[in-house]
Copies of this chain bind each other. A is one copy, B any other.
């Protein structure tokens, strides 16, 4: 399994960017990028991984996989979503919150 560092370095080189260009584009220091590419960092923030995935045009999942955070690259994406009755209409934030609270209430009052 390819390490996170090698994955990042390969991805960067594929689009011919220097560490300083990546720093410019993401705000992540080139020094830190270097440490990432040399596997000195065990648990980078989601923030950093997402920025790099975006810039390098790779799936966040592939970085998470290389970092050993997830087991498989395409985990159980649940297609059940589409079958849920509520799916048609968009919810406002307030509606969503109200429904969540209500569901919580339903489940607690049952027990």
Give the residue among A76, A80, A107 with the most B Cβ atoms within 10 A. Answer: A80
Q: Which 3 A-B pairs have the closest CB atoms?
A: A46-B46, A43-B45, A81-B85
Main secondary structure of the interface of A (DSSP, over half): helix
B89 lies within 8 A of A80 (CB): no
B14 lies within 8 A of A104 (CB): yes
Q: Which residues of B contact A24 (CB under 8 A)?
A: none
Binary interface encoding of chain A residues 71-88 relative to chain B, with 1 for a CB under 8 A from any of its CBs, else 0: 000001111111111110
Tally of chain A residues near chain B (CB < 8 A) = 45
Minimum Cβ distance to chain B for residue A10 (Å): 6
Minimum Cβ distance to chain B for residue A71 (Å): 10
Q: How far is the CA of A83 from the CA of B101 in the complex (A)?
A: 12
A91 lies within 8 A of B80 (CB): yes
A98 lies within 8 A of B106 (CB): yes
